[in-house]
Amino acid sequence: MSRIPVTILTGFLGAGKTTLLNRILGENHGLRIAVIENEFGEIGIDHELVINAEEELFEMNNGCICCTVRGDLIRILGNLMKRRDKFDHILIETTGLADPGPVVQTFFVDEELREQTFVNGVVTVVDAHHFSRHVGETHEAEEQVAFADVVLLNKCDLATAEELAETEQRIRAINALAVIHRTTRAEIEIKKILEVGGFNLDRATELNPHFLDAHGHHHHHHSDISSVGIEAEGECDGKKLNDWISKLVRDQGQDIFRMKGIFAVKAQADRVVFQGVHMLIDAASGGPWAGRPRKNSLVFIGRKLDREALTSGFRSCLT
Partner 1 sequence: MKSLGSVTAGDHILDLKWNPEGTRLLVTPTTGPVLLADDAATLLQEIPGHGMGNGSSDWFAGSPATCGFDGKIRCGSREWKPGRGMIEHVRTSPDGTLLAAGQGKALHIFDASGSDEKSLCDLPAVVSDFAWNRKSPTEIATAGAGGALLWRLGEKEPFARFDWGGASLQVRWSSDGRWLATADQTASVHVYDIPRDNPLNMEGFESKVRALAFSADGKRLATAGSPVVTVWPCASAKGPDGARPIQVDGSENEVLALDFSPATGQLATGDGEGTLLVVTFEKGQFRRKRARLGTGISALAWHPTKPVLAVGHTSGLVTWLSMGA
- From 2-10, 12-20, 23-31, 54-62, span contacting partner 1 (CB under 8 A): 54-62
CA quadruple 134, 135, 136, 138: dihedral positive or negative? positive
Which of 25, 51, 65, 318 forms a contact with partner 1 (CB under 8 A)? Answer: 51
Query: At 37, phi and psi to the nearest 5?
Result: -115, 125
Cα–Cα dist 165/153, whole Å: 11
DSSP class per residue in 84-107: SS--SEEEEEPPTT--HHHHHHHH
Cα–Cα dist 166/264, whole Å: 37
Nearer to partner 1, 40 or 158 (CB): 40
Q: Is 132 in the site for partner 1 (CB under 8 A)?
A: no
Which of 15, 69, 156, 228 forms a contact with partner 1 (CB under 8 A)? Answer: 69
Q: Is 163 in the site for partner 1 (CB under 8 A)?
A: no
Tell me 144's DSSP state.
H
Shortest Cβ distance from residue 83 to partner 1 (Å)? 5
Q: Is 115 in the site for partner 1 (CB under 8 A)?
A: no
Q: Is 34 in the site for partner 1 (CB under 8 A)?
A: yes
Shortest Cβ distance from residue 127 to partner 1 (Å)? 25
CB 8 within 8 A of CB 94: yes
Query: At 161, phi and psi to the nearest 5?
Result: -60, -40
Shortest Cβ distance from residue 204 to partner 1 (Å)? 33
Site residues (CB under 8 A) for partner 1, limited to 74-113: 74-76, 79-80, 82-85, 110-112
Give the interface size with partner 1 as a residue count (CB under 8 A). Answer: 33
Q: Is 42 in the site for partner 1 (CB under 8 A)?
A: no
DSSP class per residue in 261-313: EEE-BTT--S-EEEEEETTEEEEEE----TTS--EEEEEEEEES--HHHHHHH
Measured CA angle at 141 (ends 140, 147), to 5 deg: 80
Which of 48, 162, 206, 308 forms a contact with partner 1 (CB under 8 A)? Answer: 48
Measured CA angle at 282 (ends 280, 284), to 5 deg: 180
Name the CA dihedral angle for 90, 174, 263, 270, rounded to a multiple of 10 degrees.
30
Q: Is 73 in the site for partner 1 (CB under 8 A)?
A: no
Q: Is 231 in the site for partner 1 (CB under 8 A)?
A: no
- From 52-60, 120-128, 137-145, 281-289, span contacting partner 1 (CB under 8 A): 52-60
Nearer to partner 1, 63 or 287 (CB): 63
Q: Is 71 in the site for partner 1 (CB under 8 A)?
A: yes
Nearer to partner 1, 7 or 175 (CB): 7
Which of 31, 56, 231, 307 forms a contact with partner 1 (CB under 8 A)? Answer: 56
Shortest Cβ distance from residue 186 to partner 1 (Å)? 23
- From 62-70, 152-160, 192-200, 258-266, span contacting partner 1 (CB under 8 A): 62-70
Percent of the chain as helix, strand, coil, to the nearest 5: 35, 30, 40
Nearer to partner 1, 60 or 158 (CB): 60
Cα–Cα dist 5/198, whole Å: 9
Binding site for partner 1 (CB under 8 A): 34, 40, 44, 48-60, 62-63, 69, 71-72, 74-76, 79-80, 82-85, 110-112
